Structure 1
Amino acid sequence: MEAMFVIGLADKAHVPILTISEMSPSLLSLHSSYLFQIEQQDYYLAQVEAISAIVQAFGWKEVVPVYVNNGYGEVLIASLTNSLQKSYIRVPYLSAIDFSATDDAIQKELYKLMTMQTRVFVVHMTPRVASRFFAITKEIGMMDEGYVWIVTAAIANLFNSLDSSFMGSMEAALAIAVEKLDSTLFGFITNVRNGSNNVTDLENFGISRNGEKLREALSNVKFNGVGGDEFKLVGGGELEASSSSPFEIVNVIGNSERNIGFWTPQEGLIRNLDAKNSSVTAKGIIRGIIWPGDSFSVPKGWEIPTNGKKLRIGVPVKDNGLSEFVKVIHDHATNSTKVTGFCIDVFNAVVEALPYALPFELIPFENSSDDDEMAGTYDELITQVYYGKFDAVVGDTTITANRSMFVDFTLPYTESGVTMVVPVRDNRKKNAWAFLKPLTWDLWVTIFCTFLFIGFVVWVLEHRINIDFTGPLLYQIGTSLWFSFSTMVFSHQERVESNCGRFVVIIWIFVVQILVQSYTASLTSLLTVEQLRPAITDVHHLLKNRLNVGYLKGSFVHEMLKDLGFHENQLKIYKSAEECNELFTKGSANGGIDAAFDEVPYVLHLLGTYCSKYAMVEPRFQTGGFGFVFPKGSPLVGDISRAILNVSEGGQMRKFENAWLNRSSCEDSNNNNAAKVSSSASLGLESFWGLFLVVGVSCLIALIICLATFIYDNKQILSNHNNSSIRRRVGKLLKTFTEKDLSAHTLKRRDSCVTSCPATSAPSASTPCPPISPSSNTDSSFSGILDAHHQHKPAAQEPSAAITVTGIQQIKPHRSL
């Protein structure tokens, strides 16, 4: 209002008005031709960006602006609030002080600020109000260690006004404009009306003789300012905007000030104007600062409220169930309360990991009439933080989306999710046909068919050149099947003569060895290793058969089960792991349960208590896990979350789990035991189809080579057109294929061996005799040898013929030869 009045007088008297401080939009809207604003048009925006950069650089998360409650203060504070919020810096409170506030009113507002956690304040006031404000601030102790005060240029320029050289430079600006005027034109043209001689009468206010020329002269002033920028006024009496105008940051120490750095729109925070640094942190950029209380350590920006109370932390009461997480013990003799448990140990370790002390007291959330009964649900306990009854909640409180709308949670300190737990049963195969279970039926059928195929292939490759595969049809079939199936236990005795046959048998024996080893390992696992499998693996099975399920008393899981489709009469409540076990023992038929739904930490505790009796099964419904609860915007959330990570990474969390939740006693047997076992332990065809493919390709190649060689060797049969049709020739070729190849070297070697071996001696190393199969009794070669032998006997030795024959029978080799 004062500025508006003065601007109005200037317009009447034609006297230029120069302002070197901020101008609110309401004053600029007057459009006075005699008002010259010696501040840049973007001054407001640039200043709030500089302040926001300082707050960001020191890592402060909350700021409280303190300003004069009029148009002068409101304009900058609105811009400052927007800038801070864009940088994710909270503004929990706006402290507005009336322009005409008394010292008592200012003191009352300061005491209110002292009860808050925030310790970073941005002050934007007129110098007259600021002088009283800071005097009272120092008097009540708010200039002690831990506080941070940032003042805007409106107050900072007050310190610069004491510098005579600065004032001199401002006056010399004005002088350049005055020198261009005629010195004889100073004075006013009086405007006396109605014969009044009252000089204070605004109606008689005079008009400056050279006001118009002075205004014109000021409009044309150009010079280089202190910062090196050109001083030039543009249309409307405003200073031309400069993108390089810096803000100086000073540290006020007593009655003096000390430069610690600058802020520019291009470089941000820098130590010197000629320095180039793109870093966004204050360390190493701004010179060392002496903080309130003569401290050199950067304040963390918040403190526990100085109202003489510790942090009030609410804890749930477990109703004598699952007390491993939180346990409240009342000693009526000493009228004291002790709180222990897994969650409490974790919180104590987290507080110890903080870089500062955090005094607190644990307050059970219980009924006044019954110490062992909780005063409400977990949602109601968390609501107490929202309404300010508790400063935090520590316990087995689950992070959910609905709860996070009213409070802030730290990072979770337990595994997250809600899962189903069911009894397990031993699925070790104890029936008479357990030996068939290691392999699936499709694999058994494939193996059997492959044995038949291998027997056929070996017969095709060997029957014409190998005496072991000759003889009557049934004998040949039996020998081929015997050879094929005996490879399963590596007991085959028939020799393989052809190269193609040897190639096929080598490949097949390699495959058989893998199959046998796999079968042995799988059978051993099924018969000796404990196979615990869930009794129920599907939620739909529970719904379809209307089986009962259980949940922990007071848990949000109740609503989740209703959403899944369970009726209220299917839901059973338990308070502890022991009660849950009793319900499982009864079963749905006797008023018990067949499954329970609970959060993972509770389920792990149940598995640790009853080793190998229960198992977790999928699906798992995602939740946030257990977290500590704080009010919205609490600065403790970030520090506590970082401390939780330190405790978790340091191994302390595992120690607490073993001590309270029985995690170590059943680690081997649980370890997510049957919950994550595959649906079938049998080996299937999908694991071996590559081996069968190799066998098939090998056999096909061998058959192609064998048949191609046979056709080539007997091509005269097909090429003989004399008195024979194609059908006859093909039939003859097939008949030839079923007969022995007497020209084969393998059959000749056997004949020569039998002929050369003495009748009364065994084969020697120099004349090895291959074994003769029983089928040799029907072999024509062998008969021929006997005939030849009789033809060369002397007539006088007729009685010895039986001896000779007997001798031949004696040299008939055993299989081992």
Structure 2
Amino acid sequence: MEIPHIETSYRRSESSEQSSINLYPDFELLSKAFTAFISRAGWEKFVILYKDAGNLLRLEQIFKLSSIKGNKIMFGKLESDESPPNYRPILQRIKKRENFNNIVLDCDIDEVRVIVDQASSLDMLSSYYKYFLTSLDIELLEVRKHNPVNITGYRLINPNNAMVKKFVREYRGRKRVTSIKTELALIYDSVFALTNALEEANKGHVIRPIPLSCSKSDAWEDGSTINNLLANTRLDGLTGRIEFVDGKRRNLQMDLVEINFSGETEKVGYWNVSTGLNITRNYSQLNDKITDSLQNKTLRVTTIAEEPYIFVKNDSEGNITFEGYCVDLLEAISKMHNFNYSIYLVPDMNYGVEDKSGNWNGMVGELINKRADLAVASLTITYDRERVIDFTKPFMNLGISIIFKKPEKKDPYLFSFLSPLSFQIWLYVLVAYLGVSFTLFIVARFSPYEWYNPHPCDKDSDVVENQFTLLNSLWFTIGSLMQQGSEVAPRAVSTRLVSGIWWFFTLIIISSYTANLAAFLTVERMVSPIESADDLAKQVAIRYGTLRGGSTMAFFRDSEIETYQRMWKFMEKTTPSVFANTTEEGIKRVKKGNYAFLLESTMNEYKVERDCDLMQVGGLLDSKGYGIGTPMGSIWRDKISSSILKLAEDQKLQIFYNKWWKEKGGGGQCETDDKKQKDANALSIANVGGIFVVLLGGLSLSLIVAVLEFVWKANKNAGEDRRSICQEMADELRFAVRCTGSSTKSLSNPEHKRPRKTTVTDNGLTLMPLTGSYTYNGSGRSASSKYIST
């Protein structure tokens, strides 16, 4: 019948009528625009709450995200028999689901107002929940009293457009309004388009309306002209540029807006057919607004009591107070952003572990369930936790280490000076000494150049001698070993070769000995049965474990390294359990002995600084960091991360570390190994006592040998002098102990052996009897006459 038909709302029809046009945006384009936002926002999990299943067609592209990108989508129908409708039950179900914090509301703006009011009563308008409206009337949502921060949607009407301002100003004269509904604007634009078409049609001829009957097939002759003019409309209305393709509005542009912290809508981007979604948000202004949102806001902070990160104390009034490294860190960050905080201990005293049903406990569970805004503690950043919560930049880097009971100090061995060389080396040196001495003796006997004339003035002498007797060979070799030399010197090339090789050998041995001697004498060595994680894995006598329900336990449980897998199997099967409920419990088991505790290196350092019976064994098993936990999607995470980086640059984090690790709570009581090395300069008698023992032993041996030589020589002289050995020893001893007089004595007529009664002639000569005692002359021959002048 060619009657013009203009629609301002979505209508699903199987076939498009040629005489009908629709100013409402095409659902295919809306679906693309909605999907563009969800993809850009990174919503991997979200809920779609819909009122009318027939309108889900405009979410068709969103549904495809589940199969293409693996997004997890949960649906919920908005149903209620009450008046006004009660949607709290479905909102509570969403709140209980982990990380389904992104919600798509597919309903009109009146339903959105009800949902927002009820979500506010359930504390679901916090910064952790994000809402996206499919309604194009987000400008009409007045939620200033709730102060939402994450409600986003598209709008067709630009309130800054001059045409819109004029319309609102005129419309306000009849009614107090600040914005208009999209439906009203579309009706206005439809009338505007029809008026424009009629004006164009009237330019050629006068339009004559004629009566038509629905029972007849008569067509209005001017109807086709008007329909063609409507289909080719090109004008700007309240809802933007109006153009049609096949009766559908195609050349579409919508503003992406969100409700800011003050409750006002703010344009953050736009979407059009040609370029898709474009974000125009000024991020510097956004950061300022995030900072403003923290001003004087009180954040709920969950933590766990663990020294030195969190100390729990009671003040004079009996109130619980907190102090420690994490409190100083939190206080510094709060001053930078001027926010307040309240700290509470996590009820189950766990950091956060996922059970078989997929639920998380501890501080991670508190963040997931939005009961806490921050988790500030020694919370390790892990992949599994990162999937369900957000972390700031790490404020401390660390790794897993081993703490073990320090073995008792081993007192220095009396003969510590022998320690630089093993027993085998000393034995080999002794064998080498004897072997070289004997070789030198044999070579000297064979070499003709080692036989020399003892009387060089008597060239005709046929007597030669060799200085390398067996005793001289031993003396020469030991003198070289002790680097003292001797009066014996090799003459032949062969003996010099033996000597040179022996000197080179002694040079290396003495140098090696000297290099190791200082360490063995100055360091009191403590022998530990384990030195690394490999040592633990290779034995079963010493038990070892981790903190129950912590990241260290998860590290061994999920490790793919063979050593750590073997350690996990041992810990898992050992009874009684080797896992500790708290760090203090693990330390107590370590101090009892025969147990090693695996924990973070920072806590290891803290305990070793204060308990001198403990020590850290080996290096770090991995590398990780502690971070501040926030609920997934927290707008404050990046601001807190920036604050942590600033504190690190200003060395405030190191100051906090020194305060709680080195200074407070008895820090620095135990000396570290490095300090011991620096202070190990003075030697005690325990270190070098063996050297004095050797000295005394050598002196005693020399005295014994001297006595033996004295007795042996006295016995020989007594036989030759025909005197008793006692008399001979007495005379020799009397001469030996004289402190004055000559240091020489005559062997032919020693003064101490001269007869007591002698006869002297007139010329001064001594008369000797022919019989009786006698002495040796210089030639060694005895004199025998009745009287001999001497």
TM-score w.r.t. the length of structure 2 is: 0.53
Deviation at 1:522, TM superposition (A): 2.0
Q: Choose 473-482 or 618-627, whichever is displaced more.
A: 473-482
- On the 8 A contact 1:63/1:120 being kept in 2, the answer is no
Which of 419, 426, 437 matches 2:402? Answer: 419
Tell me the residue number matched to 1:329.
Answer: 313
Is the Cα contact below 8 Å between 1:302 and 1:635 reproduced in 2? no
- 1:363 aligns to 2:365 (yes or no): no
Query: Partners in 2 of 1:572 and 1:93 — Cα distance?
Result: 38
Deviation at 1:607, TM superposition (A): 0.8
CA distance in 1, matches of 2:596, 2:626: 23
* 2:221 alignment partner in structure 1: 209
- The partner residue of 2:126 within 107, 113, 116 is 116
Question: In 1, Cα distance between the equivalents of 2:403 and 2:409?
Answer: 19
Residues 1:666 and 1:168: Cα distance change in structure 2 (over 3 Å): same
Once the two structures are superposed, residues 590-623 of structure 1 have per-residue CA deviations (whole angstroms, 9 ceiling, x without a partner) of xxx4433333233212210134x43222475558
Map 1:462-501 → 2, pairs under 5 A: 486=480, 489=483
What is the rounded CA distance, in whole Å, between the counterparts of 1:152 and 1:181 in structure 2? 38
CA RMSD of aligned residues (A): 6.8
Q: For residue 213 of structure 2, what is the aligned residue in structure 1?
A: 191
Q: Select 2:519's aligned residue among 503, 525, 528.
A: 525
Mark the CA change 1:346 to 1:451 in structure 2 (over 3 Å): closer, same or farther.
farther
Instruction: Tell me the equivalent position of 1:394.
Output: 376
Question: How far apart are residue 408 of structure 1 and its match?
Answer: 4.3
What secondary structure sits across from 1:27 in the alignment?
coil
Question: Equivalent residue of 1:155, what SS?
Answer: coil
Match of 2:156, SS state, is: helix
Check if 1:94 corresponds to 2:127: no
Map of 2:636 onto structure 1: 636
Cross-structure match for 1:347: 330
AA of the residue aligned to 1:327? F
Aligned pair 1:537/2:531, yes or no?
A: yes
Q: Secondary structure at the match of 1:156?
A: coil
Asked whether 1:599 is paired with 2:618, we answer no
What amino acid does structure 2 have at the position aligned with 1:631? P
Map 1:165-564 → 2, pairs under 5 A: 183=205, 187=209, 190-191=212-213, 193=215, 207-212=219-224, 236-237=246-247, 298-300=288-290, 303=293, 310-317=298-305, 323-331=307-315, 334-353=317-336, 356-364=337-345, 377-379=350-352, 381-382=362-363, 383-399=365-381, 407-414=389-396, 415-426=398-409, 430=413, 432=415, 434-435=417-418, 437=420, 486=480, 489=483, 516-537=510-531, 544-547=539-542, 564=571
> Residues of 2 paired with 1:428 and 1:94: CA distance?
71
Distance 1:32 1:363, change over 3 A: same
Q: Residue in 2 aligned with 1:661?
A: 661
Residue 120 (structure 1) shift: 7.9
Task: Assess, with a 3 A threshold, how the Cα gap between structure 1 residues 609 and 410 changes in structure 2: closer, same or farther.
Answer: same
Q: Distance in 2 between matches of 1:341 and 1:448?
A: 65
SS at match of 2:301: strand
Alpha carbons of structure 1 residues 42 and 673: separation in structure 2 relative to 1, 3 Å? farther
Summarize the Cα distance change of 1:377–1:64 in structure 2 as closer, same or farther, 3 Å threshold.
Answer: closer
CA distance in 2, matches of 1:657, 1:464: 76
Distance 1:96 1:18, change over 3 A: same
Matching residue within 551, 561, 567 for 2:574: 567
Work out whether residues 416 and 623 of structure 1, in 8 Å CA contact, stay in contact via their aligned partners in 2.
yes
Alignment partners' CA distance in 2, 1:258 and 1:586: 64
Which secondary structure does the structure 2 equivalent of 1:527 belong to? helix
Matched, 1:34 2:19: yes
The residue number in structure 1 matching 2:158 is 156
- Partner residue, 1:105: 114
SS for the counterpart of 2:326 is helix
Cα distance change on mapping 1:264 and 1:173 into 2, 3 Å: same
In 2 relative to 1, CA 81–413 (structure 1 residues): closer, same or farther, beyond 3 Å? farther
Whole-Å Cα distance in 1 between the matches of residues 267 and 60 of structure 2?
28
The CA deviation at 1:159 is 4.3
Q: Deviations over 1:254-311 (max 9, x none)?
A: xxx99999878898999xxxxxxxxx98559xxx98x9xxxxx7522994699xx833
- What is the identity, as a one-letter code, of the residue corresponding to 1:358? F
- Percent sequence identity is 14
Q: Distance in 2 between matches of 1:641 and 1:260?
A: 24
- Counterpart AA for 1:359: N
Residues 553 and 575 in structure 1, CA contact (< 8 A), matched pair in contact too: yes
- Contact 1:430–1:527 at 8 Å: present in 2 too? no
Q: How does 1:12-51 map to 2 (within 5 A)?
A: 13-17=1-5, 27=12, 29-36=14-21, 43-44=29-30, 47=33
Preserved CA contact (<8 Å) 2:104 2:132: no
Could you report, residue by residue, the CA deviation over 1:401-458 in whole angstroms, capped at 9, with x for unpaired residues?
A: 66666554444444232534242454686263753535796999799999999x999x
Q: Which amino acid aligns with 1:526?
A: F
In structure 2, do the counterparts of structure 1 residues 141 and 337 end up closer, same or farther at CA, with 3 Å as the change threshold?
A: closer
Change (3 A) 1:538 1:390: same
Change (3 A) 1:347 1:148: closer
Amino acid at match of 1:361: S
Cα displacement (A) at 1:116: 1.4
Cα shift readout 1:345-366 (whole Å, capped 9, x = no counterpart): 233233334xx22221122457
Partner of 1:152, secondary structure, is strand
Q: By how many angstroms is 1:524 displaced?
A: 1.0
Q: Aligned pair in 2 of structure 1 residues 260, 524: CA closer, same or farther (>3 Å)?
A: closer
1:443, 1:513 → 2: CA distance? 15
Distance change in 2, residues 1:240/1:328 (3 Å): closer
> How is 1:706-725 mapped onto 2 (pairs within 5 angstroms)?
none
**Compared CA separation, residues 447 and 266, structure 1 to 2 (3 A):** farther
Hey, what does 1:737 align to over in structure 2? none
Paired residue total: 579
- 1:739-754 alignment runs, 5 A limit: none
Displacement after TM superposition at 1:659 (Å) = 2.7
Query: Deviation digits for residues 322-358 of structure 1, max 9, x if unmatched?
Result: 6544222234x624221122332233233334xx222
Pair 1:444–1:405, CA change in 2 (3 A): farther
Unaligned runs of 5+ in 1: 1-12, 194-203, 271-279, 292-296, 367-374, 588-592, 675-817
SS at match of 2:402: strand
Shift of 1:69: 5.1
Q: For 2:591 and 2:452, how far apart are their aligned partners in 1?
A: 65
2:503 and 2:4 mapped to 1: Cα distance? 111
- Classify the secondary structure of the residue corresponding to 2:290: coil
Structure 2 regions of 5+ residues with no counterpart? Answer: 72-98, 168-187, 353-360, 454-463, 557-567, 678-790
